[in-house]
Amino acid sequence: MITTIQYNSKKLKVDLSQPLDISISIKADVSNVNAWYIGAPKIEPETFDGDIISVEKGAAVNFNTITFNPHSHGTHTETVGHITKEKYPINTYLKQFFFLAEVVTVASEKLGEDYVISAKQLQFVLGNKKRDAIVVRTIPNTKDKKSRQYSHTNWTYFQEDAIKLLVRKGIKHLLVDLPSVDREEDGGQLKGHRAFWNYHGQLRKDATITEFIYVSNKIEDGCYLLNLQIAPFENDATPSKPILYKIIE
């Protein structure tokens, strides 16, 4: 279904029948993607008066309770409330859900014992493009990102100047295929998060970071319409389902 959407002052033609899902789902299995040193998610039927409320066990319905952490267990979107004493729930502060996004692919650079994404790399792939969101795919890009156990791996992260560059370019929504934009162990500095949300100045309360995405190699770099879908949790972060739509020239 091809339709024309008015986005700010632009008219965008997109095919809504061709969604490109870049989320990683949550499942109750040790193969679920994971970070931050906790166990796998749990999806288990409740028990009442000794009866397990599951159709498989003879109940009329399935009635599962789900235990997970959005930061550890799949694609999630977060606000500045992730790093502040004050509460800034994602369900309150994310008020728009469609954005013009640029998908870019970058290879991390070696820096001492680390692998990083630099401002120079992002400047090269973005140039002078004006976008609301950026979707960063790191290479190598293999399907095991959907089940990788990231704890104690010192994953690739963004240098502080790279994040500051995105802020200067007006990027409001940063989506990455990593557990965090920051180093796994940085002593709580969180330089990337703080730079993105302007922690030491006027907070960018309407800006979001989405982590743990997976961008298939079939998705080409370029401009897309992004639909950033979230679950309505009153929390700093929520599971999310970002969907890309190719813009038809």
Mean per-residue pLDDT for 215-236? 97
Residue 126's Cβ-count burial label (10 Å; 0-12, 13-18, 19+) is: middle
Q: Angle CA(31)–CA(36)–CA(42) in degrees, nearest 5?
A: 45
Q: Tell me the average pLDDT of the chain.
A: 96
Q: Would the pLDDT of 249 be above 80? A: no
Contact 243, 227 (CB under 8 A): yes
What is the pLDDT at residue 230?
98
What is the pLDDT at residue 5?
82
Q: What is the pLDDT of residues 130-183, one digit of tens each?
A: 999 999 999 999 999 999 999 999 999 999 999 999 999 999 999 999 999 999
Residue 83's Cβ-count burial label (10 Å; 0-12, 13-18, 19+) is: middle
- Please tell me the distance from the alpha carbon of residue 138 to that of residue 244, in angstroms, as a whole number: 17
Using 50, 70 and 90 to split pLDDT, how confident is the model at 8?
confident
Structural domains of the chain in order of their starting residue, each with its CATH number: 2-24+70-246 (3.50.30.50)
Residue 34's Cβ-count burial label (10 Å; 0-12, 13-18, 19+) is: buried
- Please tell me the distance from the alpha carbon of residue 244 to that of residue 241, in angstroms, as a whole number: 10
